[in-house]
Each structure stands twice: as C-alpha cells, then as structure tokens.
C-alpha cells in the first residue's frame, strides 16, 4: 500500500498525456452529433409560444425538439432521486420545459446538429415568448406563501420532518430561561473543477440478456 503522508506519490499518467496520447471526449466522438439548448432567462414564467422555424433551415441542423415532441415516458417528470416518507410534495422538472419554467437556465428547446457551433447558432434563431409569473426568493418569502412555486404545493412546503430525543417540549417549557433566534444557513453544494461529458452511440447489433 502506498503511503499517503510523508512521501511523494509518483504520477503514472503524465507521460501519456504529455505525448498527446490522452483520450478525451472529442477524441472518442469526433464524428458524433452535438446538442445545444435554449434555456429560460426567467425564474418563473409561463411559456406562451415557441417559434423554431428560424432554425429548421440551418445547414447542419439534424433535429429540433420541444416538450411537444417528447414521446411516452420522455414526456413525464424526471425521476425523484431520493424518495423519502417526509417528502409529501416532491417535484422534479421535465426533460424540456412543459408550459412553464421554474428556474433560470431550465432547458426549453434542444437542437441537434453536426457540430456544437452550428447547434449554438441555431439556438440563437429560436424565439420563445414568456409570460413572467411571480417569483419566490428566499426562505421568508417561501414561508409567507404569498405566491406559490407550484400551485399544487400548499404553503410551499414540500416535506415535514421532525426529529427529537427525549421530551424536548417539556424540557423547554420547564427551562428558567428561553431564547428564540432565527438561523440562516447557506445552501452547500459540491462543484467539481473538472467538466463532465457524455458520449452515446446507438448500437443495433448488440443485445442485452
């Protein structure tokens, strides 16, 4: 076992990379089609109309998809990653926005082209009309529930979970002094430094079983 502390760890990948023998996504799929997306500039809005006609005649564009083009299960909301009994109103997005967008950057239209540059150019030719809706920003606004993020989620409450040890209610009631305070805790999320990519190849010859 290599020691993790107190001595250098020899790198084994450098020679291959320095000699130009690394395998990157573009090396593996240099002839693959590429996708680009038209994304929502609004945090909350109703989609009034999508006009993709300007992108259809662009040379190199293979397909343009909106929610209306998604068949079967592809038109259903994305699976809930971590179901939990406390989650009473779990919500996930659609692969492409259906009728309404709920955050900035939500994908609305997907363009497939022979390369990424053409796909991005075609995306610029697509027009989406939005009707802005009230936004809910911050915990205080969410708790006040003057506006709902989702109309079928009352009070903007997606889950209720209570954890306790002992009789906390009685202990607090009997305490000689009590202090109430609100704590603000930032949302923490991991952000990888390295990008990620996906290369998919349709194989009509292989079988699973």
Task: Tell me the per-residue pLDDT of 64-123, one tens digit each, with 9 for 90 and over.
Answer: 999 999 999 999 999 988 888 888 888 899 999 999 999 999 999 999 999 999 999 999
The two three-digit tokens of residue 116, written as one number: 């990424």
- Position 21 in a domain: no
Beta carbons within 10 angstroms of residue 200's beta carbon = 8
Domain count along the chain: 1
Q: What is the pLDDT of residue 37?
A: 97
Which pLDDT score is estimated for 90? Answer: 85
Highest mean pLDDT among 36-40, 155-159, 187-191, 198-202: 36-40
Q: Is residue 68 part of a domain?
A: yes
Residue 15: pLDDT band by 50, 70, 90 thresholds?
confident
Q: What mean pLDDT comes out for the span 154-165?
A: 88
Range of the domain at 105: 32-133
- How far from each other are the two terminal CA atoms of the chain, in whole angstroms? 38
pTM: 0.75
User: Is residue 91 situated within a structural domain?
Assistant: yes
Is 25 inside a domain boundary? no
Phi-psi region of 22 (alpha: psi -120 to 50; beta: other; left: phi over 0): beta
- Is 180 a member of any domain? no
The answer, yes or no, to whether residue 186 has pLDDT greater than 90, is no
Mean pLDDT, all residues of the chain: 88
C-beta atoms surrounding 169 within 10 Å: 9
Query: What count of Cα atoms within 13 Å lies in the side-chain half-sphere of residue 13?
Result: 3
Query: What digits encode the pLDDT tens for the residues 3-14?
Result: 567 777 778 878
d(CA 204, CA 27): 23
Q: Is residue 186 part of a domain?
A: no
- Can you list the pairs that 191-200 forms with residues at least 24 positions away whose Cβ atoms lie under 8 Å? 197/25, 199/25, 199/28, 199/29, 199/32
pLDDT attached to residue 38: 98
Looking at the domain assignment, is residue 176 inside a domain?
Answer: no
96 assigned to some structural domain? yes
The CATH number assigned to the domain holding 50 equals 3.90.1170.50
CB-CB contact of 109 with 64 (8 Å): yes
Q: Which of 100, 98, 105, 104 is nearest to 151 (CA)?
A: 100
Nearest to 86 by CA among 153, 156, 159, 157: 159
- Provide the Cα torsion 163, 169, 174, 177; round to 10°: 60
């Amino acid at each position: 076992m290599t020691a993790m502390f107190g001595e250098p760890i020899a790198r084994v990948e450098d020679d291959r990379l320095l000699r130009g023998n690394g395998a990157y996504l573009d090396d593996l799929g240099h002839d693959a089609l590429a996708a680009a997306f038209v994304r929502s500039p609004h945090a909350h809005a109703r989609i009034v109309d999508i006009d993709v006609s300007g992108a259809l005649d662009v040379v190199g564009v293979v397909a343009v998809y909106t929610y209306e083009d998604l068949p079967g299960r592809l038109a259903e909301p994305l699976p809930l990653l971590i179901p939990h009994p406390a989650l009473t109103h779990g919500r996930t997005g659609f692969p492409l926005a259906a009728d309404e967008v709920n955050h900035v950057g939500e994908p609305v239209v997907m363009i497939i082209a022979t390369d990424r540059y053409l796909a991005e150019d075609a995306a610029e030719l697509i027009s989406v009309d939005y009707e802005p809706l009230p936004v809910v920003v911050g915990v205080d606004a969410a708790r006040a529930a003057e506006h709902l993020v989702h109309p079928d989620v009352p009070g903007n409450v997606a889950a209720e979970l209570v954890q306790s040890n002992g009789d906390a209610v009685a202990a607090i009631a009997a305490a000689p002094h009590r202090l109430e305070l609100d704590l603000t805790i930032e949302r923490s999320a991991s952000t990888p430094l390295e990008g990620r990519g996906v290369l998919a190849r349709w194989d009509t010859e292989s079988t699973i079983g």
